[in-house]
Homo-oligomer: A and B are copies of this chain.
């Protein structure tokens, strides 16, 4: 470790550089518009938070990149994703600040910005890619590949990440290694299949024999049941899964999906609590981006109406569409379709259950 000297706040935070980075175009052009400062600072703050998010995601990808993930890391990964989530909440809230600028205020300097556009934010694309958004699933924008606005060097970085490790792929590989799917003679999928069949039968009978449901209610409930049934069937059929995956409608491998289902169903077992928290965080990150995209689209619409953005896009429509299309962890969302009530859940054999607890629990109890 090098020797270190004292340091002051101003110097530590590079404030001189930081606070001289706001250069309103309207001022340079001799027609100062008061509101341009806000426009610049809002975007700079976004970029600073983006840097922080990348810092966290990079570290999480790193933890999951080894074949053997240190268990200690899962807790740390969850904590770092929690931080990403807190930052996202702030980014969503920040839109309200931009909305304190009226559309008329914006027009005072909008013309000078051409063709600068948020679509040119490299860090934003980096985050999407790091999380696992693949080029093939992206909406095109002005009929150009999304990365055509970046210089070659930045495009290479994006491609490198996409073909290497992303959160989605690292977590998928980790899920595939879960040893519990067939474990100590307990075949999870087989037991789950039986439980689903029993449950559906029971529900069907209850509906048919009911003396308080009207006929139309009966048929409505049977209808609900039927649609559940077909969803359940798809999860028992690896081949069907792979077809959907080939069509881009599913992202995760069959094995990873089943592992995620197991973790979700038995999430209260001590050894599965943190892995479950990890999956939950990923779903929440996805949801938060979606919310941000949606709010961002609203804000653009409010600012421009039907005008075309400085980047040449039909702003609102493109942005609103990314909200629904650029989701990355939909497969985890969809797990909810496959859940069954705890009362129907196959009991874990005692020796499996013990293994899912802490080794120490036995000793601890004895030592009390």
Contact = CB atoms under 8 A, between A and B. Distances in A.
Contacts of A159: none
A57 to B, nearest CB: 12
A128 interface: no
Nearest to A316: B333
A313 B332 CA distance: 22
A40 B15 CA distance: 11
* A-B interface, 6 closest residue pairs, ranked by CB to CB distance from nearest: A359-B359, A305-B337, A305-B336, A9-B120, A14-B21, A83-B100
A42 to B, nearest CB: 8
Contacts of A318: none
B18 A47 contact: yes
Contacts of A265: 104
27 contacts: A2-B28, A3-B212, A7-B116, A9-B117, A13-B44, A14-B22, A14-B23, A18-B18, A19-B48, A19-B123, A41-B51, A76-B268, A86-B96, A89-B96, A107-B339, A107-B340, A179-B363, A224-B312, A227-B307, A228-B308, A271-B358, A273-B274, A287-B298, A305-B333, A305-B334, A305-B337, A305-B338
A332 B221 CA distance: 43
Interface of A: 1-15, 17-19, 21-23, 25, 28-31, 34, 37-38, 40-41, 43-45, 47-49, 51-52, 55, 59, 67-68, 71-72, 74-76, 79, 82-83, 86-87, 89-90, 93-94, 96-97, 100, 102-104, 107-108, 110-123, 177, 179, 203, 212-213, 217, 220-221, 223-224, 227-228, 231, 264-265, 267-271, 273-274, 283, 287, 290-291, 294-295, 298, 301-308, 312, 320, 324, 333-343, 355-361, 363-365, 367-368
